[in-house]
Amino acid sequence: MSGKTLEILSELRARSSKVGLISVLSENDVNIIREIVTTGVDDFLVKPIDTRRLRNVILDIMRKRGTRKAG
């Protein structure tokens, strides 16, 4: 993951904690995941993306942000 990508993610998080951030990764690399987590992303997905997992991640973020009630 490039430093520029990490910088952009950090900047997005700094501008708003209300926006849900999901990072899409091309590989399941522990070091990259650690870097991503430090930027403040809410979650990440590894390609190929499972649509059920994507839906669950989005719903989870919405619940945490209070934009959708659980259940």
Q: How far is CA 58 from CA 2, 3, 31, 43, in A?
A: 25, 25, 24, 9
Residue 31 has pLDDT above 80, yes or no: yes
Q: What pLDDT is attached to residue 7?
A: 94
Mean pLDDT, residues 45-56: 97
Percent of the chain with pLDDT over 70: 94
Domains and CATH numbers, the chain: 3-65 (3.40.50.2300)
Give the pLDDT of residue 53. 98
